[in-house]
Structures are given as structure tokens and as C-alpha cells.
A = this chain, B = another copy of it.
Amino acid sequence: MATQTKPVLHGYFRSSCSWRVRIAFALKGIEYDQVPVNLIKDGGQQLTEEYTTLNPMQQVPAVEIDGTTLSQSLAVIQYIDETRPGPRLLPADPKKRAQVRMISDVIASGIQPLQNLYVIQKIGTEKVQWAQHFIDRGFKALEPILKETAGKYCVGDEISMADICLVPQVYNAVRFKVDVEQYPTIKRLNQTLVEIQAFKVSHPSCQPDTPSDLQT
């Protein structure tokens, strides 16, 4: 792989879907370049014609990799997993793989799309309540699922795509002032995961496009 061009991640420091991909790259030990796409500035740089060719959904992330451009974070993560060495991001056992995908999709289809910037902007009033409602609804479902599947991490004792999805969603929950104390399994898993180096280096507080007042 040494002669290959590095992947390029077009993302935004605070986007939970961009963060998922950054965690996957970090867990796999893959070097990549970042091109910031500011979702706020200039009315949203994801709306430019240039960016729309990379991702017609006008969302981050988009990843240039192996001569192709991929969007949708879970598709990117599974592509990385299937083409790169390093720790598996999905377990070998089919039932555990299904659990990992189920948990990932509860977040990626059941929660995140309903509280992302674009949708929140479409909701006239009660933006925060709307986001809280959908995060709470998702976490109420995740908590009993994770109680069944979790070991040290979301599914058993190996880090997986489910963990990659969980941590950025908990970060969003905190931003929207959801009381995470209500969800002891989610809280415990998140506390364990945020101490891991791959989750730390990919954190929104320390990306190239993190505004200086949000850096920690």
C-alpha cells in the first residue's frame, strides 16, 4: 500500500458522521488527508457545485479512496474494513456482525438523520426539543439492546462499527442536553470508549478545522 495515494476525507469537525470515519481510520492506523467542508460558513460549503459532485446528497463525509469517491459513513467504514489490514471493525461471527450492524443502524438510520443540521433547520420552532425527542427515543431502544449485546464494548469485548457510531451520537446527545444518566449501559460504554486513543485523536475538539475557541 506504500505507493498508494492517501485517502482524502472531506468532512467537518463537528459532524458525527465525519467523526465515525475518522475513528475508523484511526483504529486501522490509516493515514489520510482532511479537506474541511464548513457546514455553516458561506451558507454551507457542502452546497457548492464542486462538493455536490463528490457527494450529491450535499452532506459530509465524502471520502476519496482507491480511485473512487464514497459517501455514507457506514459504507465507507465497511469498505475500509474489507480492504485494509488491522483490527476488524466487524466481528467474524455472522450473528455478532448482524448485532453490530443493527446497533449501527439504530443510530445511523434511527437517530442521527432526525437530529442533523439540515433537518433541525427545516423544523421551524422547538429545534432542541425535536432533537432531544429523537435522541431519547433512540437511546431508550439502544439501552436494552446494548444490555444484551455488550461486553466491554457494544458487542462483546472487541471494538466494532457499533462503538464507532455510539460515541459521536453520545457527543450529540450531550450537545442537545439529553440526560445520558438515564442510560447506564450507553454511559458506561461511552466512558470506556472515549479513553481510547483512536477516539481521542479523532474528536471534534482537535481537528484541523476546529475553531480555536472550541479546541481543548
Q: Hey, which bits of chain A sit against chain B, CB under 8 A?
A: 55-59, 66, 68, 70-72, 74-76, 78-79, 82-83, 94-95, 97-99, 101-102, 104-106, 108-110, 112-114, 119, 122, 130, 133, 137-138, 140-145
Contacts and interface: CB of A to CB of B under 8 A. Distances in A.
A105 to B, nearest CB: 4
A145 B109 contact: no
Given A57-B141, A70-B102, A141-B58, A97 B109 contact: no
Contacts of A95: 66, 68, 79
A59 B102 CA distance: 13
A interface secondary structure, majority: helix
20 contacts: A56-B142, A56-B143, A56-B144, A57-B106, A57-B110, A57-B137, A58-B141, A70-B99, A70-B102, A72-B101, A72-B102, A75-B101, A75-B102, A75-B104, A78-B97, A78-B98, A79-B95, A79-B97, A109-B112, A113-B113
Given A57-B106, A71-B106, A109-B109, 18 more contacts: A57-B141, A71-B102, A72-B102, A72-B106, A74-B101, A74-B105, A74-B109, A75-B98, A75-B101, A75-B102, A78-B98, A79-B95, A79-B101, A83-B94, A105-B108, A108-B109, A113-B113, A122-B130
A-B residue pairs, 9 tightest by C-beta: A75-B101, A56-B141, A72-B105, A79-B98, A75-B102, A57-B141, A113-B113, A72-B102, A109-B109
A120 B108 CA distance: 19
A109 B72 contact: yes
Contacts of A97: 78-79, 82
A101 B75 CA distance: 5
A176 to B, nearest CB: 16
